Structure 1
Amino acid sequence: MGERVVDWSDFPKELWSPIGKSLDTGIDVLRFRSVCSSWRASIPPSHPSSPRFPLQFPHPYDAFPTYICQSTIYCIQPLDSSSTSTAATSSHIKGDLIKVQESASGKLRLLEPLASCAIHSYPRSAKTLNLLNFRIVEITKAYTLRFGSVGRAMVEDERRDILSYRSVPGVNKVVMFPNSAWTNAEGCAIFVIFLDGKLGFAKYGEDKLTLVDDQTSDYDDIIVYKGQFYVVDRLGVVFWIECSSLKLVQFSPPLCGLGSRKHLVESCGALYVVDEYLDRERGRMEGNRSYFNRRRELHNTIDFKVYKLDEEWGQWVLVKCLGDRAFILGSDCNFSVSAQEFVGCKRNRIYFMELEESRAFNLEDHRICDLAFSPDPPSWLYATNPLM
């Protein structure tokens, strides 16, 4: 039986808007609205009250004007030039990981995928990107807290320059949910983990940060998993956070691992804890303010162990092989990818930052090596057509 050719103009009009509004990511909404003028008119680019980043946030230390900056990590893959369809891709063509941060004025900046610092090595002529020549898929979002220089007033016009401001010291991780193309900003919740292990919370529009379980300073990482906030402590106990009451409900038993730092990673719908072993015991800061007067202790990573949560039996299972997957432990978010889809990415690896350098850990032989990137920039940096 031959394939049936469907004319998009015959697609029922009453389905255009429901389908378009079921798309979560901005890049998917952009694709939908790019099909034709009728589809573009059926839905707006986003919710009229969706968050606009940088988003004002109460400063953890009641000091300087603070903003949440959002960056998005994409897979960008060249389309198969031998195909007559721009939607077709070749399975052997690998993509690149890119991290993009956007200011309220629309200014874009490329960031290092593992860090939140800007990339300065790409060609100056690389300012545009033709989306017709590439397949772009959003992988995840990452968040950082940033503030301006001490004594400098922050006014609305200066928001466009927020990308150059410094990260708020003493903050370990920031997560926000929900945040899709159709999110109303008033429904957003933000959690912050500090370097001293405390957990802070704020809703959009609030002018004060609330400490969650302020008697406890024992949290290492936080993640949005299956639409809920989950946090892990130093013993590897994962808690589900009930946002309306800010109660922590134990979700997993303690981990058997004796590592110094725990990381939460979602991979293929399952929850993992990556237990990081350091060359010496990691101390806790006595207070967030002490960060300004004291250098952060430096440690070297010597090993990782990976555990998968068996939710049916309520126990942790030691994972000795990730298969084709690779885990990325970034400075502002953790995620996993299929190694065969990305240039320079190898299977069964954990990529992480140490002393401002990118490193790779081989889960098979437990060796750590520096990353050796190709000196040639990816071809998409030389695109010559408009981004939008």
Structure 2
Amino acid sequence: MEETGKRPWSDLPPEILSIIGNRLHTRMDVLRFRGVCSSFRSSIPRPRYDASRFPFRIPTSTPRFALFLRASTVYAVETPDGAAPSGRTRWLLRLEESELERMRILSLFSHRRIAYLPHEFPEVLDSLQFRIVEIFREYTLECGGGTGGLVQCAQKVVMHPDCVGSDVDRCSVYFIDKIGRLGYWRYGVENWSHLDDSQGGGYDDIAVYEGRVCVVDQFGSVSEIHSSFGLQSLSPPIYSGNHRGSGGFWKQLVVSSGDLYLVDRYTESIAYSEKTRPTCDFRVYRLDRQWGRWEEARSLGDSAFFLCKHCSFAVSALELGGGNGNCIYYTEDTYSYYSMEIFKVFSLADRSVKCLGFSDSIWRLPT
């Protein structure tokens, strides 16, 4: 019996290539797919280059008041052998593409620009030679007026829809302001609006989950923002009571492996100011979609959660170099904008906290 020879990837039928291409969710995946060969390239269009649209100015009712939407992306990068003096390396870094073919490297946990790169970091990142995986896309809002410059004016921002084919002109922006109020802006509208709800604030985090924009309040109750910009409850609160002391100090949402998690941060109860209390513990909960309730998660499996200032995301052990899952990476909010950050990691296995030291650079992963 004659053996069947291997067929090149370019022989795949166009309809199959189109189905595969339409399931790609990130710009990096589309670019790498189109780079395989001419048949792959012709099966799906090139992704829109929206970097030139950012910072995107949002109109306001006050002409002298400026409001800008900025975008940045967290990538996992693995360099090939010989690309760096130390051989094969892995990095976790955040890039802000502000102009066509120009970008800035930002701190992973905050939004500071990194001016000095480690000596072992490669001079050129070639997406055809390096393994580059898009982990998370973050948005921030900056506002200002007069000569005071622009400052961060929201603690969390999401844009929806936000996929490789999304057009900024067709999206809505949702945000939680500095005092915990929930707001939104829809393209074509002259000003942003706050959601009219009975709580009048008290929201901790916002995230996109299964194509829905979800928010969590200080009691751990999650609601969906539906198309008419109203709120629909998805889960009961984790804690009862009428004050934040019934749970942790701060709640953040993380989407990992198709599930929605809530990370509740506990801080020391000793006499610190509200912004300088050190973290002493975390509790993690997974949303049971069938029953609409929270279940405490004793393990994150092979995933690690990163709790950053303006975003939260999960990274698999594969991207971390293996053996680094089931933990939470975070920083303490005790340092000024111009100070270096102190990184810490919390292990769910033994509930220990380890200080990783100070850094003002990009995040190098073990190999």
**Contact 2:10–2:37, Cα closer than 8 Å, also in 1:** no
The answer to whether 1:321 aligns with 2:299 is: yes
**Contact 1:275–1:306, Cα closer than 8 Å, also in 2:** yes
The farther-off stretch of 113-122 and 329-338 is: 113-122
Pick closer, same or farther for the CA change 1:279–1:58 going to 2, 3 Å: farther
CA distance in 2, matches of 1:363, 1:199: 31
Cα offset for 1:247?
1.3
Aligned pairs (5 A) from 1:288-299:
297-299=275-277
AA aligned opposite 1:366: R
Pick closer, same or farther for the CA change 1:312–1:61 going to 2, 3 Å: farther
CA distance in 2, matches of 1:315, 1:363: 21
Aligned pairs (5 A) from 1:248-259:
248-256=231-239, 258-259=247-248
Question: Could you say which residue in structure 2 is the equivalent of 1:204?
Answer: 187
The answer to whether 1:341 aligns with 2:319 is: yes
Question: Could you say which residue in structure 2 is the equivalent of 1:220?
Answer: 204
The answer to whether 1:55 aligns with 2:56 is: yes
Question: Could you say which residue in structure 2 is the equivalent of 1:370?
Answer: 355
Q: Deviations over 1:49-69 (max 9, x none)?
A: 898322222469876322111
Cα offset for 1:148?
6.3
Aligned pairs (5 A) from 1:96-245:
96-122=91-117, 126-147=122-143, 150-151=146-147, 166-169=150-153, 171-213=154-196, 215=198, 216-242=200-226, 244-245=227-228
AA aligned opposite 1:225: Y
Question: Could you say which residue in structure 1 is the equivalent of 2:254?
Answer: 265
Question: Could you say which residue in structure 1 is the equivalent of 2:243?
Answer: none
For structure 1, list consecutive stretches of 5 or more residues without a partner in the other structure.
82-92, 153-164, 284-294, 381-388
CA distance in 1, matches of 2:346, 2:12: 49
Greater strand proportion: 2
Question: Could you say which residue in structure 2 is the equivalent of 1:359?
Answer: 344
AA aligned opposite 2:26: T
CA distance in 2, matches of 1:65, 1:72: 23
Matched residue of 1:246: which SS?
coil
Matched residue of 1:130: which SS?
coil
Q: CA RMSD in A?
A: 3.6
Pick closer, same or farther for the CA change 1:4–1:317 going to 2, 3 Å: farther
Q: Deviations over 1:220-248 (max 9, x none)?
A: 00000001001000110000110x21111
Question: Could you say which residue in structure 2 is the equivalent of 1:383?
Answer: none
CA distance in 2, matches of 1:121, 1:271: 36
Corresponding residue pairs, total:
344
Cα offset for 1:140?
1.3
AA aligned opposite 1:11: L
**Contact 2:66–2:145, Cα closer than 8 Å, also in 1:** no
Question: Could you say which residue in structure 1 is the equivalent of 2:85?
Answer: none
Cα offset for 1:259?
0.9
AA aligned opposite 2:346: F
CA distance in 2, matches of 1:37, 1:232: 46
Give me the TM-score of the superposition, normalised by structure 1. 0.77
Cα offset for 1:282?
12
Q: Which has the higher contact order (CA 8 A, sep 6+)?
A: 1
Cα offset for 1:369?
2.6
Cα offset for 1:202?
0.5
Q: Deviations over 1:348-368 (max 9, x none)?
A: 211112124322112233332
Cα offset for 1:198?
0.4
Equivalent residue in structure 2 for 1:306, among 278, 284, 287: 284
Cα offset for 1:42?
4.8
Question: Could you say which residue in structure 1 is the equivalent of 2:242?
Answer: none
Pick closer, same or farther for the CA change 1:321–1:137 going to 2, 3 Å: same
Question: Could you say which residue in structure 2 is the equivalent of 1:71?
Answer: 72
AA aligned opposite 2:294: W
For structure 2, list consecutive stretches of 5 or more residues without a partner in the other structure.
83-87, 240-245, 335-340
